[in-house]
C-alpha cells in the first residue's frame, strides 16, 4: 500500500473536524436546553451582578414570578431591584451585599420586598463573589433568592405560641420575665426609672365556685383586656399565674406609675358580668414599686411588689399599695 494513502487528505481532516464540531454544537444546545429548563422550573431567582458597572448581568426566569416585575427592566437598570426592596430593609440589603464582597459570601441575608402588585414578601438572598469572573471586568456577585414568606409566617406563629398565654393572649410567665429582665438591665444601665406592678384578682376562687370555671376564664380575659387598655405603648404586661398578672413600666416615674395603676383599677371596677340571671363585678389588689439604685436584681423588685400586693389583700382588697 502506498504510504501517502494512509495519511488522511486535508479534505478528510476538515470533514472530520466539521462533524466533530457539529456534534459539539448539538451537545451544547442540548445542555443549554437542559439548563434553561432547570432554571425555568426552579422557584428561586438566580442572579449575577457586576459590582463595578452596577449592572445586572443575568437573572433567571423565576424573577418575574417572585418579584412580579419585568426581568428586561431589571437587566436594563439595576435600580429596579433596589426599588423593590421594602424601605425599612434597604440599608440592610445594601450593606449585606457589600459585605459579601469583603467576606466572599453572605449566606444569611433576609429582607422584605414589595411586589409590583403591592404584596409584601420575605426573601432569603444568599450571595457569593463569583470565582469565574474576568478580573478586568471587576468583581461579579452571584446569588440565589428564594421566597421564604410562608416560613417566616410559620416562625412568627411559633414565636407567638411560645410567648403568649393561650387564655388571655397576654405574655406568658416565661416570656414576661425574660422581657422584664431585659428592661431591668436597660433601666439600670441608663439609670432610668422603671416601675413593677403586680395584680391579683380578689376572691377569684369564689367567682369560679359560684359562676363556674368558664365564667372565671372570661373574667381573666376581660382583666387582661383592661391591662392592655390601661398601659402605655412599650409597657410589658403578662399573666404570671392563675389569677395573677404583672406589668413592667419602663421610663415611668413613680407618680405616673401610680396613675396607670389607678386607671387599671377603675377599668376593672367598671367591668360587669352576667351569669345565672345575675350580674356581678370583680375587683383586684395591686402592689406597685419602683426601681431604686439599691436593687441588685429583678427579683428584688418582684418581691417588693408581691409584698405590697399581699398587704393590699390584708388591708381589705380592691386597692393599690405602693412600696
Ligand X SMILES: Nc1nc2c(ncn2[C@@H]2O[C@H](COP(=O)(O)OP(=O)(O)OP(=O)(O)O)[C@@H](O)[C@H]2O)c(=O)[nH]1
Return residues touching ligand X (CB under 6 A).
Answer: 167, 200-206, 208, 213, 216-217, 220, 242-243, 313, 317
Q: What are the two backbone dihedrals, phi and then psi, of residue 84, each rounded to the nearest 5 degrees?
A: -85, -15
- Measured between alpha carbons, how far is residue 41 from residues 34, 57, 61, 66 in Å? 11, 20, 8, 12
Question: Smallest distance, Å, CB 251 to ligand X?
Answer: 31
Q: Find out whether 129 and 98 touch, Cβ atoms under 8 Å.
A: no
Question: Smallest distance, Å, CB 214 to ligand X?
Answer: 7
- In 3-state terms, what secondary structure has residue 110? strand
- CA nearest 238: which of 228, 250, 251? 228
Question: Smallest distance, Å, CB 220 to ligand X?
Answer: 6
Distance between first and last Cα of the chain: 119
Question: Smallest distance, Å, CB 284 to ligand X?
Answer: 9
At 28, which helix (H) or strand (E)?
A: helix 10-41
Nearest CB to ligand X, comparing residues 182 and 313:
313
Interatomic CA distance for residues 149 and 58, integer angstroms: 24
Q: What is the DSSP string of 121-133?
A: EEEEEEEEE-SSS
Nearest CB to ligand X, comparing residues 15 and 214:
214
E-state strands within the chain:
44-50, 55-59, 105-106, 110-114, 120-129, 140-147, 194-201, 236-239, 244-250, 273-275, 278-280, 284-290, 320-322
Nearest CB to ligand X, comparing residues 77 and 203:
203
Question: Smallest distance, Å, CB 316 to ligand X?
Answer: 11
Nearest CB to ligand X, comparing residues 198 and 298:
198
**DSSP 8-state class, residue 8:** P
At 77, which helix (H) or strand (E)?
A: none
Nearest CB to ligand X, comparing residues 44 and 198:
198
Nearest CB to ligand X, comparing residues 216 and 250:
216
Q: Clarify whether 13 is annotated catalytic.
A: no
Question: Smallest distance, Å, CB 83 to ligand X?
Answer: 50
Set 146, 243, 253, 254: catalytic member:
243
Interatomic CA distance for residues 98 and 84, integer angstroms: 18
> Which are the catalytic amino acids?
243
Amino acid at each position: 500500500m502506498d504510504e501517502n494513502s494512509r495519511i488522511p487528505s486535508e479534505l478528510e481532516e476538515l470533514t472530520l473536524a466539521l462533524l466533530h464540531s457539529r456534534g459539539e454544537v448539538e451537545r451544547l444546545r442540548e445542555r443549554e436546553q437542559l439548563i434553561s429548563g432547570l432554571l425555568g422550573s426552579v422557584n428561586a431567582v438566580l442572579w449575577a451582578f457586576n459590582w463595578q458597572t452596577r449592572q445586572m448581568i443575568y437573572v433567571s426566569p423565576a424573577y418575574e414570578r417572585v418579584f412580579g416585575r419585568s426581568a428586561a427592566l431589571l437587566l436594563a437598570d439595576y435600580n429596579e431591584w433596589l426599588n423593590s426592596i421594602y424601605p425599612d430593609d434597604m440599608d440592610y440589603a445594601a450593606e449585606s451585599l457589600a459585605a459579601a464582597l469583603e467576606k466572599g459570601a453572605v449566606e444569611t441575608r433576609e429582607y422584605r420586598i414589595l411586589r409590583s402588585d403591592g404584596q409584601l414578601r420575605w426573601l432569603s438572598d444568599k450571595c457569593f463573589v463569583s470565582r469565574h469572573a474576568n478580573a478586568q471586568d471587576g468583581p461579579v456577585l452571584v446569588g440565589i433568592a428564594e421566597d421564604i414568606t410562608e416560613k417566616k409566617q410559620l416562625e412568627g406563629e411559633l414565636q407567638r405560641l411560645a410567648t403568649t398565654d393561650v387564655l388571655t393572649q397576654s405574655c406568658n410567665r416565661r416570656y414576661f420575665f425574660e422581657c422584664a429582665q431585659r428592661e431591668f438591665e436597660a433601666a439600670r444601665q441608663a439609670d432610668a426609672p422603671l416601675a413593677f406592678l403586680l395584680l391579683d384578682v380578689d376572691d377569684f376562687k369564689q367567682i369560679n365556685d359560684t359562676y363556674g370555671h368558664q365564667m372565671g376564664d372570661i373574667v381573666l380575659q376581660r382583666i387582661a383586656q383592661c391591662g392592655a387598655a390601661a398601659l402605655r405603648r412599650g409597657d410589658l404586661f403578662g399573666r404570671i399565674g392563675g389569677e395573677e398578672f404583672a406589668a413592667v413600666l419602663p421610663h415611668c416615674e413613680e407618680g405616673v406609675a401610680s396613675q396607670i395603676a389607678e386607671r387599671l383599677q377603675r377599668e376593672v371596677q367598671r367591668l360587669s358580668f352576667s351569669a345565672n340571671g345575675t350580674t356581678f363585678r370583680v375587683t383586684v389588689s395591686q402592689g406597685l414599686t419602683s426601681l431604686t439604685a439599691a436593687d441588685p436584681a429583678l427579683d428584688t423588685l418582684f418581691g417588693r411588689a408581691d409584698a405590697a400586693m399581699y398587704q393590699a389583700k390584708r388591708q381589705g382588697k380592691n386597692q393599690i399599695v405602693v412600696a
